[in-house]
Every structure is written in structure tokens, then in C-alpha cells.
């Protein structure tokens, strides 16, 4: 079994950390900075690039540690140099576990481009527009607990031969004297096209987080890179628990839906069109197990309930269910009710 791969500064041998803002790998000790190309040059001849994929997966897992939350059951993994003290979901202390196991080495990654400071600033602007959020919703303690987490997704490209068959009708109405005639012509419609699907993104994590994750899609395709472990340093990552075979039907369903929409749009000039049937033949496809960057921000209310918000680590898009402060609602109702009551009282004195 190959030893764990470490990523060290070529100048001082300290650990390198990926800086999203600079898009560089940085050393906190000697302040050196490296591009991905620079890093790969220094790794030439020292990394086990010639190893088979299975061996690379073992090396990847060997260099990662698992952190478990005893409160909510969340499991995350990170490189052994990344420290963790609280759960990024419920803000409770986490337990340092053992090594990551299984062939979980990703194929692709979209690195974080939004820093923690930028994420907090964006979230503050988002929170200011939520008038009925609790008073302490934006307090500094909650925002400081923001965590950068890479979530697992399956990203699929496919070339297909798609066919669409339906029936359509064209109706013609005319009058001769006092008699109205209606002619209905029915047509068998056939459409066929070579359709390429690009970046169909499907969560590779449990269904309970599916909506929460898909609410911040999409991620720009041009930001996707081949996975390299230094991108993970300083962040956490979720272990995938949905395999490719488990989402094949879902991806095929999306292809069917997209193909139906595209080919149906070519059927024009008819009074009515049946739903029709679609057949998508996949000629070839490519599946990449991909890590996508998510900032996780958690607010814990006075009853101890955790409210989680996800932020796209590339675009800044935010998704999450907003808690409501009923005290603010009461103030609003009071502000509306008092002048309304006064108005009704005046009207009553004038007309009754």
C-alpha cells in the first residue's frame, strides 16, 4: 500500500493551503505562493502518478481523517492537517475519528473562490433583507461558525440519439351559406436528433440534503478542474453515500425530460399536440465524481433548533429555510392595528 501523499512547500517543507481569493497554493510560514502548474512541477518524480486508480484511492483515503458529530450524526472528512472543533451543521463539538476508508477519490473539483470573509459579508446582506428574521440572526458568533465544505456530486455528460413521436391536429373551420364546416386533420409527428447533454449535476449525498444542495446549483463548467488534494486543505468534505448506479435512473429521467422539451418545441403550427413518447438512446457517457464547494452557515435559535443555510462557494447563491421572529410580526401587526383602530373609531363617531 502506498504511503499517504503530502503536499509541502518546496521552500520550507511546511504544509500548503489553497487560497480561494488568490487562486494560489500558499505557505503560511514562508509566505511563498504557487500555481497549480508550479506545484505539479515540484511534484514530478516524487508523486505516485503512475499508480493505478485503486492505489491512488488508497493513498487518498490514507491521508484523510473522519470527523463525526455525536449530536446530529453528520460525517465529514478532511486532510489530517485540518482541525475541527464544531459540527458545521448543528454547531456542537465533533469527535475526531479514524481514517477514511473506501475508494472515494474524486475525479473533479470546483475549488472555493469565495473566502470565508466574503461568504460572511454576502450572508449579512442576505439577512438584512429578511425583515422577520430573529433579532440575533446575524450575530457575530453565528457567522464566525461558517464552514467551507466540499459536497459530493455526480456530473454527467452524454451523447444521445433521441427520438420523439406524437400525434397532432390541425383544425380548419369555414362557412358555406348557413352551414358551418369543421375539418380536422391528424398528423403523425416524428422528430429525431443527436443531443449532447453537458454537466447534468446530481447529488451524491443522502436525499435529506438533496433540496438543500440543489437549491444553489448550478456551478460554472469552466471552473471544474482535475482533483488535486491541496485544494482540500483548510476545508472539509462530505463522504458520498450515493453511488452512480443509484442515480442512473434519475439522470436518464432528466435526459428524457430535456430531450422532450427540445424536440417538442419543433412541433409548431398545430391546434393541439398529444404528450407523445420520447426515446433516448445513450451512445456514450462520462461520469465524474466531483466535489463542489459549499459554505455552510448555521443559526441555532433559543429552543436549540439549528437552521442551516447553503451558499454556492463559486457564485454566492444562498438557499435555506428562514426562521421567523414572532415578536417582529407582533410589532408589525400592532403598528398596523393601532392606526386602523383609530380610523374606525373616527368613522364610527362621524357616521353612527
Contact 111, 23 (CB under 8 A): yes
Contact 214, 203 (CB under 8 A): yes
pLDDT score at 235? 84
Average model confidence (pLDDT) for the chain? 78
* pLDDT for residue 199 is more than 90: yes
Q: What one-character-per-residue DSSP string does 20-48 give?
A: TTTTEEEETTT--EE-HHHHHHHHTTTS-
More confident residue, 208 or 109: 109
pLDDT band of residue 91 (cuts 50, 70, 90) is low
More confident residue, 110 or 143: 110
Report the distance separating Cα 166 and Cα 179, nearest Å. Answer: 33
Q: What one-character-per-residue DSSP string does 195-254 give?
A: EEEEEEEEE-S-GGGHHHHHTT----GGG-EE--GGGGTTSEEEPP---HHHHHHHHHHH
Report the distance separating Cα 182 and Cα 231, nearest Å. Answer: 68
Contact 292, 153 (CB under 8 A): yes
pLDDT band of residue 35 (cuts 50, 70, 90) is confident
Which tens digits make up the pLDDT trace of 213-253? 888 999 999 999 998 877 877 788 887 888 998 999 999 99
Mean pLDDT, range 198-212, rounded to an integer? 83
More confident residue, 97 or 128: 128
Which tens digits make up the pLDDT trace of 305-348? 777 889 999 999 999 877 654 454 444 455 555 555 555 555 45
Nearest to residue 217, comparing CAs of 315, 350, 90? 315
DSSP code, position 49: T
Helix ranges restricted to H, the chain: 36-43, 53-62, 116-128, 140-144, 210-214, 244-264, 326-351
pLDDT band of residue 1 (cuts 50, 70, 90) is very low
* pLDDT for residue 352 is more than 70: no
DSSP code, position 93: B
pLDDT band of residue 6 (cuts 50, 70, 90) is very low
Amino acid at each position: 500500500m502506498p504511503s499517504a501523499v503530502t503536499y509541502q512547500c518546496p521552500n520550507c517543507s511546511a504544509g500548503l493551503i489553497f487560497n480561494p481569493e488568490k487562486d494560489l497554493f500558499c505557505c503560511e510560514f514562508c509566505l511563498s505562493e504557487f500555481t497549480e502548474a508550479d506545484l505539479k512541477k515540484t511534484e514530478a518524480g516524487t508523486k505516485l502518478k503512475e499508480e493505478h486508480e485503486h492505489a491512488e484511492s488508497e493513498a487518498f483515503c490514507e491521508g484523510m481523517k473522519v470527523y463525526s458529530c455525536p449530536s446530529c450524526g453528520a460525517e465529514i472528512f478532511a486532510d489530517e492537517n485540518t482541525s475541527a472543533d464544531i459540527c458545521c451543521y448543528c454547531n456542537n463539538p465533533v469527535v475526531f475519528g479514524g481514517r477514511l476508508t473506501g475508494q472515494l477519490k474524486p475525479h473533479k473539483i470546483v475549488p472555493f473562490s469565495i473566502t470565508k470573509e466574503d461568504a460572511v459579508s454576502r450572508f449579512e446582506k442576505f439577512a438584512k433583507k429578511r425583515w422577520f428574521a430573529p433579532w440575533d440572526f446575524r450575530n457575530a458568533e453565528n457567522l464566525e461558525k461558517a464552514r467551507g465544505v466540499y459536497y459530493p456530486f455526480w456530473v454527467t455528460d452524454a451523447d444521445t440519439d433521441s427520438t420523439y413521436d406524437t400525434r397532432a391536429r390541425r383544425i380548419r373551420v369555414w362557412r358555406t351559406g348557413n352551414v358551418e364546416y369543421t375539418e380536422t386533420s391528424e398528423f403523425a409527428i416524428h422528430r429525431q436528433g443527436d443531443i449532447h447533454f453537458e454537466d447534468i449535476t446530481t447529488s451524491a449525498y443522502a436525499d435529506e440534503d438533496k433540496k438543500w444542495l440543489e437549491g444553489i446549483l448550478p456551478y460554472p463548467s469552466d471552473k471544474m478542474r482535475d482533483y488535486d488534494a491541496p485544494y482540500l486543505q483548510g476545508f472539509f468534505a462530505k463522504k458520498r453515500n450515493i453511488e452512480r448506479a443509484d442515480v442512473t435512473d434519475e439522470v436518464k429521467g432528466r435526459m428524457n425530460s430535456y430531450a422532450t422539451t427540445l424536440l417538442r418545441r419543433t412541433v409548431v403550427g398545430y391546434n393541439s399536440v398529444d404528450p407523445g413518447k420520447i426515446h433516448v438512446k445513450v451512445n456514450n457517457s462520462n461520469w465524474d465524481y466531483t466535489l463542489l464547494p459549499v459554505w455552510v452557515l448555521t443559526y441555532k435559535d433559543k429552543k436549540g433548533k439549528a437552521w442551516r443555510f447553503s451558499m454556492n462557494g463559486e457564485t454566492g447563491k444562498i438557499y435555506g429555510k428562514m426562521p421567523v421572529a414572532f415578536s417582529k410580526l407582533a410589532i408589525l401587526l400592532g403598528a398596523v392595528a393601532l392606526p386602523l383602530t383609530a380610523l374606525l373609531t373616527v368613522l364610527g363617531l362621524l357616521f353612527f
